[in-house]
Every structure is written in structure tokens, then in C-alpha cells.
């Protein structure tokens, strides 16, 4: 698979980048996870130079291969994007031979990522005690629905469940409507992958002093961490925040408004100074007489939002954006993916990139982020075919000969 256009993020100093190895170069990661959470953490390391070995069950592989839009190759576009820069190794971890191979690879690795239910790796003789006995310096990332401890630890979890359990679904939707999924059904997976990657980086930072360690992350925890002050507010005065639609409890006007041509614009008047500038853009300086402070606007939010909605409804999206931008009011169009692909700023930042995949053709995928000026990440290839690197890894890394490999393959272990 090859790149069909420049994948280097906007902020990269390409001259300096050519002189430095990627920041995760020399790090080897074993990715035992499925779907998105732990594998996303591993993918981040792969984007910045780590060797990522994706361990999959023989024949079936990661269920993510069948999640989303199918490709001509038999896997999906989601797999091609999310399994980027990885090498696929098929291995039956439930067998003695598979266990020994995995421990052999762990002995040579720096990080292991997994998101099985708690107790699964222990049942196979591959729990943290076994892995750390084999390699005292390995960092183990464990992501599960509810974490490795607590009364719910054995229950299954997916992102939608995490959104509900951590309170995000309760906050999403219109005030008189049902709780909704907040946009991407996989948000908790991606957020857990990010928090997991941060945990791994911190563990690697102190590895020389403390050795390897285990990172225990529940899928719902990053969602709970990102819910502003709802816990503090409830404990202070008993307020249970409900669904606010496009608005918020902390600012006004702060929402989505429809324009004359049927488009939508997001506006964020996060403080009184921004609102003062917005009143000039709208030609309504009179609003500052009685609504100059956020508390006054929140108490009369229906009236203020009605004035703002009427102003937007008389302008095209281009006119409204121009007026807001000229007044230095934070705003943006509510983009569809078609709008995003046509947006000149996103193109200038190279946030999306095209890559060629064998038997599939050109694919558009999110680019690497963040942009590092001297040691940028890079996409080398999209998601691998099942088991395509198994022979290479077992013979080159573990020294297995061709005959032994053939025996393992015949027995369905690889």
C-alpha cells in the first residue's frame, strides 16, 4: 500500500524531520486487542515509528475486519484505516504453543495492548504476572468495559454502553426528547485509546526506574473525565444537569442556528466580551443594556436565542460567517463529510490523506496527528491482510524454521 499524496502534517519542518528518527522508533508493541480501544492506542505508536505486531485469531481475525463498509478485499474501510502501519500475526492464544510464542514475542517487546474481559489473559496463562515474569520491563495496557476491579468488572462493555454509564447519553439530545448517541458511536473507544496511549508513554518514561507496570483503564472513565463540572455541581447544590439540545448551561448564545439557505452555523459566545462583539455584528447594541452579563442571558436564554435565530435566518451561511468572522465571534459551519472534504483549511492542514490499498484502490483516511515539527508521524500502509506477516515474524524474531512453521500452520495454531 502506498501514499498517493503528501501525508506530512502542516506544522512539520521536513528538513529537520529528515535528520531525526520517529519518536517511537525502536519500540515494539504487541496489539492483542479487538475493535478500536486498545488497538487505537497501538495505532498511535505505529504512526510515530513503533513496530506494531497485531495478534489475531487464525481464520477469523479481529472482528473489526467485518465492521463497517466492506471492501473488495473482504475486510472493511474501517479496518484499513484503524489497523494502519501494523503487521498481522495469526496466533491461537488458547493453545500451549500459542502461549509460548506470545511469551517469546513479549520477551522482545516494550508494550502489550489488550482489551479482553478481565481474567481472559490470566485464564490462558498470559496475565500480567506471566508477562512481567517473562519481561520485567514490559508495559501492559488493559482496557475493558468497567476496568479490572469493582463489582461490574466482569460485565461486557462497548462504547455505547460507556456513553450511557458515564452520563454522556443522558446529556445528549433535546430537552423534551430521549437520550441520544453523541455523534460517533465509537467515541469512548477513541478516547480510551488516547488515554491508554498517554498512560503507556508515562510508564515508558519511568521504566528505567520502576520497570514494567500495568495500566488499568475502563472504557467509561475517559467519558466521565470529560463531563465538565456536573459532579461538583450535583454535590454542591443537588442539580442534575439534563439535556440542553444545542445549548449549554454555562453560556448564551451558544448553539446551532439555521441560515436562510438551509445550512447551520455553530456560534460560541463563551464570555461577555464575545457577546458584546456579537451584538455589533447583529446591529443590536441595545442588548447590552439588559443582557451584558452571562447570568442575565442564561436567565432569558429563550429570548436571546430567538433574536439570534432570527438574525441568522435572514442571511446565507456565507454572509453570516463573514459577519461573525469580521466581528471576531467564534463560529463555524456545521459541516457534513462532503463539506469537510471540500474545505480549503482542512486541505491546507492535510487532515485527510489518500492512500492506495491493494485490491481496493484509493482510500481516504484521517492523517496522523498531532503534527510534530522535527519528528513527525507517517502512514506507511493501511490495515494488513490477515496473517500476512506471520511467517516473517516467527522466523525472523523467534528463529522458527520453515518446517516448524508448517506444523503450526497445519495444526491451526498460526
- What DSSP designation does 51 have? E
Closest CA relative to residue 38, chosen from 157, 193, 187, 145: 193
Contact predicate 267/254, CB 8 Å: yes
- Structural domains in the chain, CATH included, are 2-226+352-410 (3.40.50.10540), 264-333 (3.30.1540.10)
Q: How many residues would you count in the chain?
A: 414
Q: Where are the alpha helices (DSSP H) in 211-271?
A: 221-225, 230-237
Q: What Å distances lie between residue 118 and 29, 42, 124, 151, 186, CA to CA? A: 20, 19, 12, 12, 21
Contacts of 205 (CB under 8 A, 6+ apart): none
CA angle 218, 221, 223 (to 5 degrees): 130
In Å, how far from its chain's centre is CA 312?
33
Indicate the angle between helix axes 272-282 and 317-326, nearest 10 degrees.
Answer: 130
How far is 321 from 331, CA to CA, in rounded Å?
7
Contact predicate 327/278, CB 8 Å: yes
| 216 DSSP β-pair partners | 142
Rg (CA), the chain: 25
User: What is the full per-residue pLDDT of the chain (414 aa) written as tens digits?
Assistant: 444 445 555 555 555 666 799 999 999 999 999 999 999 999 999 999 999 999 999 999 999 999 999 999 999 999 999 999 999 999 999 999 999 999 999 999 999 999 999 999 999 999 999 999 999 999 999 999 999 999 999 999 999 999 999 999 999 999 999 999 888 789 999 999 999 999 999 999 999 999 999 999 999 999 999 999 999 999 999 999 999 998 898 999 999 999 999 999 999 999 999 999 999 999 999 999 999 999 999 999 999 999 999 999 999 999 999 999 999 999 999 999 999 999 999 999 999 999 999 889 999 999 999 999 999 999 999 999 999 999 999 999 999 999 999 999 999 999
Contact predicate 378/26, CB 8 Å: no
Grid cell digits, residue 253 = 448564545
| Residue written as grid cell 508513554 | 201
Q: Annotated catalytic residue: which of 31, 110, 189, 216?
A: 189
**Residue 323 among the catalytic residues:** no
Amino acid at each position: 500500500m502506498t501514499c498517493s499524496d503528501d501525508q506530512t502534517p502542516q506544522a512539520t519542518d521536513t528538513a529537520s524531520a529528515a535528520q531525526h528518527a520517529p519518536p517511537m522508533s525502536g519500540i515494539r508493541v504487541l496489539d492483542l486487542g479487538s475493535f478500536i480501544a486498545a488497538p487505537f492506542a497501538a495505532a498511535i505508536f505505529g504512526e510515530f515509528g513503533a513496530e506494531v505486531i497485531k495478534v489475531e485469531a487464525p481464520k477469523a481475525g479481529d472482528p473489526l475486519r467485518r465492521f463497517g463498509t466492506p471492501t473488495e478485499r473482504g475486510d472493511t474501510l474501517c479496518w484499513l484505516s484503524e489497523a494502519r502501519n501494523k503487521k498481522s500475526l495469526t496466533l491461537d492464544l488458547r493453545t500451549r504453543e500459542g502461549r509460548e510464542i506470545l511469551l517469546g514475542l513479549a520477551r522482545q517487546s516494550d508494550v502489550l495492548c489488550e482489551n479482553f474481559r478481565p481474567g481472559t489473559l490470566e485464564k490462558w496463562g498470559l496475565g500480567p504476572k506471566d508477562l512481567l515474569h517473562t519481561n520485567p520491563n514490559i508495559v501492559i495496557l488493559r482496557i475493558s468495559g468497567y476496568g479490572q476491579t469493582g463489582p461490574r468488572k466482569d460485565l461486557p462493555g462497548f462504547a455505547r454502553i460507556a456513553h450511557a454509564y458515564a452520563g454522556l447519553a443522558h446529556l445528549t439530545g433535546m430537552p423534551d426528547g430521549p437520550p441520544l448517541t453523541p455523534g460517533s458511536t465509537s467515541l469512548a473507544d477513541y478516547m480510551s485509546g488516547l488515554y491508554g496511549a498517554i498512560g503507556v508513554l508515562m510508564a515508558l518514561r519511568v521504566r528505567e526506574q520502576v520497570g514494567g507496570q500495568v495500566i488499568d483503564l475502563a472504557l467509561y472513565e475517559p467519558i466521565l473525565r470529560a463531563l465538565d463540572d456536573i459532579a461538583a455541581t450535583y454535590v454542591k447544590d443537588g442539580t442534575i444537569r439534563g439535556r440542553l439540545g444545542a445549548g449549554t448551561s454555562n453560556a448564551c448564545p451558544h448553539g446551532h442556528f439555521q441560515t436562510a439557505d438551509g445550512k447551520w452555523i455553530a456560534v460560541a459566545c463563551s464570555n461577555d466580551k464575545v457577546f458584546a462583539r456579537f451584538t455589533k455584528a447583529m446591529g443590536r447594541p441595545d442588548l447590552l443594556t439588559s443582557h451584558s452579563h452571562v447570568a442575565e442571558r442564561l436567565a432569558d436564554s429563550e429570548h436571546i436565542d430567538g433574536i439570534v435565530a432570527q438574525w441568522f435566518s435572514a442571511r446565507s451561511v456565507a454572509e453570516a460567517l463573514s459577519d461573525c468572522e469580521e466581528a471576531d465571534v467564534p463560529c463555524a459551519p456545521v459541516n457534513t463529510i462532503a463539506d469537510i472534504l471540500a474545505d480549503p483549511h482542512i486541505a491546507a492542514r492535510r487532515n485527510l490523506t489518500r492512500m492506495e490499498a491493494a485490491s481496493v484502490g484509493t482510500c481516504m483516511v484521517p492523517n496522523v496527528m498531532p503534527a510534530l515539527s522535527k519528528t513527525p508521524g507517517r502512514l506507511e500502509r493501511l490495515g494488513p491482510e490477515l496473517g500476512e506477516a506471520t511467517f516473517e515474524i516467527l522466523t525472523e524474531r523467534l528463529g522458527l524454521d520453515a518446517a516448524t512453521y508448517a506444523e503450526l500452520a497445519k495444526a491451526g495454531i498460526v
